[in-house]
Each structure stands twice: as C-alpha cells, then as structure tokens.
C-alpha cells in the first residue's frame, strides 16, 4: 500500500526532492533480529545527511505533513545520528520499535531539508506473544455500519497497552493513531468504514501480539 505524504513547509530546494525509505531484510522482524531502515535520495547534487523520525499524532511544536487524509507530525528519533550515512540499524529489534517511520535528508549551503519520505511501518514480532488482539465480532471480515471493537488481552499485570495500525484512515475506531490504554479497555465504533481496513497490532509493556488484518466492506 502506497501512502502519500505531503510536507507543509516554506519554499526551499528540498521541496523538489523526496527520499525513498525501505526496510531490510523485511518489515516484520522477530524480536532480537537485526533490521535496517534505508533512506535514499536519487538527487546527487548535495552531500546529504539523513534524519529519522517516528510518526505521531499532530503536534504544533513538531514538523507536520498530511497523512491518511489528516495531519500528522514527525518526532525526531533521539539516536537518529546513527542514520547519518543513509541507514539506521537496530541490531536488536525490540517490541518498542514497532511504529511508523519516515526519513528526510538535509543538504546544501545554506542547509535545507527535503520532503519526508512515504510512511513505512515496522512491526516487531515476539517469539511467544504475550498479548492477544481481541476483535469483536471475532472475525477478520467486517461490514460498514456494524459495530466493531478492539481490545488487548495481556498475560500479566501490565497497566497499559498500545494499539497501532496502518490503514487509510487518520484515526482508527474511536482511538488515536497510537493508543495508550488500560489493559482490558476497548476501542469501538458503531460505524466502521472501508478505510478502517488494514493491519492492527497491540502490545503491553511485557510483549505484543502478532499483527491481524481486518477488512471492512460495504453491506
């Protein structure tokens, strides 16, 4: 699925350049594996350095762009200097690395920044899942205007869980893009739409579920 990301910035030469972001060897590493995010720019006119971000809900203090028909923001990774050469490697992928990522490049004199890349998901799978994503009704095929709810069942006393998804909708069923919620609580909607179709994942502080694909079609 290709997701268009358009940057809202002032005029600069970088607005004509969009990096390409990819994940190798794949976007679904098992916990403990090595995974690399690669940011590439075909324009060779500048000596590029690269910046790495995770996608978060819109915040006025962060750079923003349009994503899934709404506004999202990009939060710079605290250790993004590791990606200065165009690659950002996680030698030991962990549950908390599951997120949506973008990159952009910086170059020129005076320095300017390019557009953001398209959004790329990284889902870290656990060898023995410590959480289960519970879907009600319990099926992968759902219909518009019929209720749909999501919750996370954890195997310990974790106080919270996160729900992450990749769909064509800015917000999932009655939940923000990344939800922090009490274990056992529920996100629900009485009117799901086709844009809610996508990959869903949940996790607690001790482990996560495997991703689940949900399809919503018209009745």
Helix (H, G, I), strand (E, B) or coil at 135: strand
Mean pLDDT of 13-42: 86
What is the distance between the alpha carbons of residues 195 and 69, in angstroms, rounded to a whole number? 11
Contacts with 181 (C-beta within 8 Å, 6 or more apart), sequence order: 152, 160, 161, 163, 175, 187
The secondary structure of the chain in percent helix, strand, coil, rounded to multiples of 5, reads: 5, 45, 45
What is the distance between the alpha carbons of residues 111 and 105, in angstroms, rounded to a whole number? 10
Flag whether pLDDT at 172 surpasses 60.
no
pTM equals 0.64
Flag whether pLDDT at 185 surpasses 70.
no
Per-residue pLDDT, 168: 61
Flag whether pLDDT at 4 surpasses 90.
no
Q: Fill in the DSSP letter of residue 81.
A: G
Residues written for the chain: 219
Per-residue pLDDT, 179: 41
Structure confidence at residue 198 as a pLDDT band (50, 70, 90) = confident
The position carrying tokens 């290709």 is 2
Flag whether pLDDT at 166 surpasses 70.
no
Domains in the chain, CATH or no CATH each: 6-122 (2.60.40.10), 131-217 (2.60.40.10)
Structure confidence at residue 2 as a pLDDT band (50, 70, 90) = very low
Flag whether pLDDT at 123 surpasses 60.
yes
Contact 35, 93 (CB under 8 A): yes
The position carrying tokens 């028909």 is 69
Contacts with 60 (C-beta within 8 Å, 6 or more apart), sequence order: none
Flag whether pLDDT at 161 surpasses 70.
no
Per-residue pLDDT, 23: 92
Contact 202, 128 (CB under 8 A): no
Mean pLDDT of 66-82: 81
Q: Torsions phi, psi of 57, nearest 5?
A: -60, 155
Average pLDDT, the chain: 77
Structure confidence at residue 61 as a pLDDT band (50, 70, 90) = very high
């Amino acid at each position: 699925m290709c997701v268009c990301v358009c940057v809202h910035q002032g005029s600069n030469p970088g607005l004509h350049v969009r990096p390409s972001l990819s994940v190798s060897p794949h976007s679904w590493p098992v916990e403990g594996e090595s995974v690399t995010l690669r940011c590439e720019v075909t324009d060779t006119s500048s000596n590029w350095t690269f910046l790495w971000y995770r996608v978060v809900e819109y915040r006025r203090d962060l750079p923003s762009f349009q994503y899934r028909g709404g506004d999202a923001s990009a939060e710079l990774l605290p250790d993004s200097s590791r990606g200065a050469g165009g690659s950002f490697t996680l030698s030991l992928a962990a549950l908390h690395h599951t997120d949506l990522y973008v990159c952009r490049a910086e170059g020129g004199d005076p320095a300017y920044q390019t557009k953001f890349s398209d959004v790329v998901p990284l889902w870290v799978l656990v060898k023995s899942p410590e959480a289960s994503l519970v879907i009600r009704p319990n099926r992968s095929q759902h219909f518009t205007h019929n209720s749909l709810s999501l919750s996370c069942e954890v195997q310990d006393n974790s106080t919270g869980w996160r729900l992450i998804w990749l769909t064509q909708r800015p917000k999932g069923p009655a939940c923000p893009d990344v939800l922090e919620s009490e274990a056992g609580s529920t996100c629900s909607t009485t009117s799901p739409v086709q844009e809610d179709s996508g990959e869903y994942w949940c996790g607690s502080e001790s482990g996560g579920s495997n991703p689940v694909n949900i399809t919503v079609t018209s009745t």
